[in-house]
Amino acid sequence: MTNSVSHGSPRSPFGGGSDVDRLTATPAGVKLGSLDLIPDGTARNFVLEMRAGRFHGFVVRRGAQVYGYVDRCAHMPVPLTQQLDAYLTPDATHIQCSWHGALYTVEEGRCVGGPCVGARLLPWPVTTIDGMIVTVGEDTE
């Protein structure tokens, strides 16, 4: 399978293609890059171009641990951020939707504040192997 990884760009959730056309999963074993790409306590957007379509996701780093999610709010099918890589609250304790203020836990993607309490972000299984961030198959996580 041919895949390419890029760092995304800000976009309007209301233009540039339908959310339905976006993929919500990636194959296992895709190397996203070095863990050093994401400073500790921050998040980074990734866009994967695959034969089946385009995947938009992001990874949050906490120390050596990484947490990946599909870049789509659980409240409405829009990207979480209006500014590139601005997924976290200012104190970096939660993921925040910049459109409606929904707050999600970093570790589980569970909404704990805003219009969708109890809902969850779609997980994007990722891990680190030898200092590289790599996608993981859902059945092997």
Cα 61 from Cα 140, distance rounded (Å): 20
Cα 5 from Cα 63, distance rounded (Å): 23
- What pLDDT score does 137 carry? 79
Per-residue tokens: 11: 């976009």
> DSSP 3-state assignment of 125?
coil
Cα 53 from Cα 120, distance rounded (Å): 23
Residues linked to residue 64 through DSSP beta bridges, in sequence order: none
User: How big, in percent rounded to 5, are the helix, strand and coil portions of the chain?
Assistant: 5, 40, 55
Indicate if the pLDDT at residue 107 is higher than 60. Answer: yes
Of residues 89, 35, 37, 96, the one with CA closest to residue 69: 96
pTM across the whole model = 0.84
DSSP class of 109: -
14/53: higher pLDDT: 53
The string of pLDDT tens digits covering residues 23-77 is 899 999 999 999 999 999 999 999 999 888 899 999 999 999 999 999 999 989 8
Cα 97 from Cα 102, distance rounded (Å): 5
- What pLDDT score does 14 carry? 36
Helix (H) / strand (E) containing 44: strand 43-50
